[in-house]
Structure formats: C-alpha cells, structure tokens
Amino acid sequence: MTFKDKVVYQIYPKSFLDTNNDGVGDLEGIRQKLPYLADLGVDMIWMNPFYPSPQKDNGYDISDYTAVDARFGTMAEFEKLVQEAQTYGIGIMLDMVLNHVSIEHEWFQKALAGDKKYQDYFILRDEPTDWVSKFGGNAWEKFGDTDKYYLHLFDKTQADLNWRNPQVRKELFEVVNFWKNKGVKGFRLDVINVIGKDEILQNNSENEGKAEYTDKPITHDYLQELNRQTFGSDESIITVGEMSSTSIENCILYTQPERKELSMVFNFHHLKVDYEDGQKWTKTDFDFMKLKELLHSWGKEMSDNSGWNALFWNNHDQPRALNRFIDVENYRVEGAKMLAAAIHLNRGTPYIYMGEEIGMIDPDFARMDNYVDVECLNAFDNLFANGKSHEEAFEIVKTKSRDNSRVPMQWDDSTNAGFSQTAPWLSVGKSYKEINVKKELAQGDIHSFYKKLIALRKQYSVISEGDYQPYLEADEQVYAYIREDSTAKVLVVNNFYGKERTVSIPKEFRTGNVLISNYNKKELSSTVDLAPYETLAIYLGK
C-alpha cells in the first residue's frame, strides 16, 4: 500500500498565483511555488480542472478533455510542471470530470447537429423525471429544438454522459490514459458515484431523486473496468473518488484493495452538520455530537473493513472550516492547529486545501456582487423568491458560498495579497494583511505545526497504518480516538470548544509521551485539563 503515509495538497489553479498578470492564476504560478510546497512536505498536488472550458462551473464544465486552457498556460508548461514537481518528490493529481461534459464539447455539439452516434453519448429522454439539479431547478433541459430532454445533474451547461454506452467508456478511459502517459501520479474522480444510471429512469420525489442515480451497483463495475483499463497498471498511482451523498457501506466497497476500484474516497457527511434540516442554504451553528458520531462511525467502520478515507476539512466547494467550527475571532490559531491534528493523526489520507496551512478564513465580502459562483447566485434568487429579505439571503450566501474558499491565495500584504498585479477574477479576502504566507513564515506557527504533523505521519507507522477506535464517545466537547498497530498506540484528544474541559486518560497512556500539542503540554496524569481548542496526542510504544 503505497499511499498511506502520503499527504495531498489541493490547489485551485485559478486562485493560486498569477504570473502573467491577467487576474487568473496559472500553471507557471504553481511551478514557481514548488519549493514552498516541498518545504511543507506534501507528497502530491491535486489541481482542480484547467482544461478548456466555458467556465460556467469554473472548469468542471469541460469542452476538451486533453488540452490545457490557454488562460492557465500551455501543454509544454504542464509537462514542465510534472517533471519539476517530480524532482521534489511531488506527484501531480488531476481532476477527472467523467460524469458530464460542457454542452460546448464536440460530442454534445455533434449530438445536437443530429449525429445519432453522439446522441447515444448523452442521456436523452422523451419525458423528464422529477429529479432536481444539484445547482437548483429540474435536472432536465430541452435538447435543442427536438422533442427530447437531456439530463444534467449539475448546471444545465453540464450534460451527463451515458456510461451505459461502451463507446463512451472507451473514450473516457483514453482521456485518463492520455494524462497517465504524461506522468500524472494521481486522479481525483469528480462525482464518480453518480455515473451509473439505469436504462429506465424513474420519478422519485423523495430527496430530490438522489436514490435513482447514487451508488448504483453498476457503478462498482464501471470503476473496476476503469481501474483495469487505465491506472490499475501502475501501483504508484493514487485515486480518490469524490462521492456525493454516499454511504459507508458503498465506500467500503469502493476502497477495499482486493476489489480494485479506488484508493480512497471523499464523503461530505461531516460537512453537513451545520445544515438546518439537511438543507445547505440555511444558517445555523454546527452540531458537534452529530459531527463526532459521523467521524467515529466512518473512522471505525472503514478501519474494521479495510476501507480507506480521504480526510479533509476544506476544499474548493466548502466555506473555510475555521469559520464553521472555530470561534475564529478569539482562537483562530489554536483552532487551526486542533482541526489539523484531528485529521492528520487520523486513519486515512489527509488533504490540505491551499491557505489552510496559514489559517486562511472566509473573505468577509460586503456585497452580493462580490460573488460569482453559479450555485450561490441561483441559491440567492431562490431564497429571495421564497420570501427571504435581501439581507437574510445575503447572510446565508455569505456563510455558504463556494467562493469563500476560491478567493486568491494570500501570499503577502501587498496589493491583491501578492496573488496578481491586476484585479483578480474574484476579489481578495479582507484578512490578507493579517493572514498571509510571508507573515506566517516569519512569525506564525500554524505552518510549522502542519509540517510537524506531516513529518509524524512519515515517522510513525501507527499514524499511517494503525487502526481506529473511538474514545470518550459521550463527551459533549471533545473528539478523541485511539490509533493502534503492532508497534504502538496513540491517543488523540481534541477540544472543539473555546472553554476548558477535563478528560480522563486511560491508565496505560499515563506513562506515554506527548507526541504533539498546541499548548506545549508535557506532563501527564490520570486526567488532563484541556485548554480552549487544545489538541493533544499521546504516544505509547509497545
């Protein structure tokens, strides 16, 4: 198993570093920052899509799978990036969006022009079902001036592909192999658990129709075929499936090594604990007991059944975790370290989203016109149409918009946070003079805490390989777990609140050593008084 001691760093190329000053981040910007990433100690960089795209969904609407969009650079620059990253021991992980293409893709255009072969690349029906698009509205759109409708689970410019057609699968496998042959060492598979659709599609008013297309048994067959035909021939390649509304049961199947599907999976249940009645576009405090229950059940069941989780608090679709789970006004630094330790010492592969390692927070935009993402613009209209005032709707967008994490990386305190000399495509966050890489490296200690956590995963097999047991399950403030392998045991306790809490330490751990702490704690006894947002890990060798 080659991936268990690895750490992945996610880069949103549009917002990382703009080297030609057109307001959009580029491949050259990523290349220039390789030394920064190597110093942090990450093994792989996952890049969000940089392929030609009309950018209706920021690159997840692809019009050409095997080219580089000129706004990000050239294929030669991509090849250089792969090679240079390799000299630092860093692999490149690409985002594969195989569920849908942009309606500007040649396949869809040919289909629209009446080509029967290409019409069978899409999901066309005479009657739409009642399924709801994940970006709002019905999931079907009129197919040109015909009597048919095409399915789009996301934006109406993102047409779902027909995986039942073997020719479609063959084309998509060629896409993966194209990038594999360029030396790519990882694939992140976008919404891969919704690719399998039935021949006959049924209405289902419950839960927006999700059960009709999510985690269908045939999806496992498709993944096995994808594995065989593409990345399966190279053991060093890491794959991660992004799973929409999935189940533990299915994620065990997706990742058990002998099934040869994927290395690991992202699920999002733990990031829905601040949704009121399961609805994203609401504003409410997070439910800690629910969060804990999810982390424990996924941690334990994946551990007991040899599944493997991708571990993360942030990505390009989520507001910053610091704003969601931490009293960021008073404890940003302590909270950032606690959240980091809670996943980096956990069982699974940790992912760091750019800026997380310096404790970046949401941009705190003042106006609706600062937001650009299609999902939040639709949501705003929807909230407004359903009776919310402009102010109420804005407050919700402000807490939930995906733009929160997509703002430019904060490099220093100069204009545009050192991201670009020009106005960026999405405004810089308000906090950049206080929170930026330059300042963090000079005087902060979140970054060095991340470095230490990454190093620990490489040093101790109990962290990379050990199994997972929940601890202190009833505690209403602390998330704790025990890791164990043949060499050692580690107890990790995390205080999720800005108030102190005393917890008991199991007897055997009282003779252990403090592995890492965000309060420089060294002494141990039968209980420990946890400070606000304290994290503490105790190591006990066997």
CB of 351 to ligand TEU, least distance (A): 12
190 makes contact with ligand TEU (CB under 6 A): yes
Q: How far is CA 98 from the centre of its chain?
A: 17
57 makes contact with ligand TEU (CB under 6 A): yes
CB of 69 to Ca ion, least distance (A): 11
d(Cα 160, Cα 101) in Å, to the nearest integer? Answer: 7
Give the interface segment with Ca ion, choosing from 23-31, 127-135, 159-167, 230-238 (CB under 5 A): 23-31
Instruction: Decide if 105 contacts 60 (C-beta within 8 A).
Output: no
Pairing status of strand 478-484 against strand 501-504 = unpaired
CB of 82 to Ca ion, least distance (A): 19
Sheet with strand 513-517: strands edge to edge: 467-471, 478-484, 488-495, 535-541, 513-517
Instruction: Give buried/exposed letters for 186-218 (b at 16+ CB in 10 A, else e).
Output: bbbbbbbbbbbbeeebeeeeeebbbebbbbbee
d(Cα 250, Cα 232) in Å, to the nearest integer? Answer: 20
Residue 26 interacting partner from Ca ion, ligand TEU, none (CB closer than 5 to 8 Å by kind): Ca ion
Residue nearest to Ca ion (CB): 26
134 makes contact with ligand TEU (CB under 6 A): yes
Contact pattern for Ca ion over residues 142 through 181, marking x by CB under 5 A = ----------------------------------------
- Catalytic position from the list 26, 190, 274, 440: 190
22 makes contact with Ca ion (CB under 5 A): yes
Q: Closer to Ca ion at the Cβ: 299 or 408?
A: 408
Task: Write the DSSP symbol of residue 309.
Answer: B
28 makes contact with Ca ion (CB under 5 A): no
Q: Closer to ligand TEU at the Cβ: 246 or 469?
A: 246
Nearest to 212 by CA among 197, 231, 227, 199: 197
Q: What is the size of the binding site for Ca ion (CB under 5 A)?
A: 5
Exactly one of 6, 15, 16, 26 binds Ca ion (CB under 5 A); which one? 26
Q: Where are the alpha helices (DSSP H) in 103-185?
A: 106-112, 116-119, 166-180
Exactly one of 7, 17, 24, 326 binds Ca ion (CB under 5 A); which one? 24
Contact pattern for ligand TEU over residues 265 through 284, marking x by CB under 6 A = ---------------x----
Residue nearest to ligand TEU (CB): 60
d(Cα 401, Cα 323) in Å, to the nearest integer? Answer: 12
175 makes contact with ligand TEU (CB under 6 A): no
d(Cα 179, Cα 3) in Å, to the nearest integer? Answer: 20
- Catalytic position from the list 61, 242, 475, 534: 242
Is residue 57 flagged as an active site residue? no
Residues 387-446 that bind ligand TEU (CB under 6 A): none
**Three-state secondary-structure class, residue 149:** strand
Q: Which residues contact 406 (CB under 8 A, 6 or more apart)?
A: 12, 14, 15, 58, 316, 373, 426
d(Cα 194, Cα 26) in Å, to the nearest integer? Answer: 30
Q: Closer to ligand TEU at the Cβ: 160 or 440?
A: 160
Strands (E) across 386-542 are located at: 467-471, 478-484, 488-495, 501-504, 513-517, 527-530, 535-541
Is residue 242 flagged as an active site residue? yes
97 makes contact with ligand TEU (CB under 6 A): yes
Q: Closer to Ca ion at the Cβ: 26 or 274?
A: 26
Just list the catalytic residues.
190, 242
Q: Which residues bind ligand TEU (CB under 6 A)?
A: 57, 60, 97, 134, 154, 190-191, 242, 244, 280, 316-317, 375
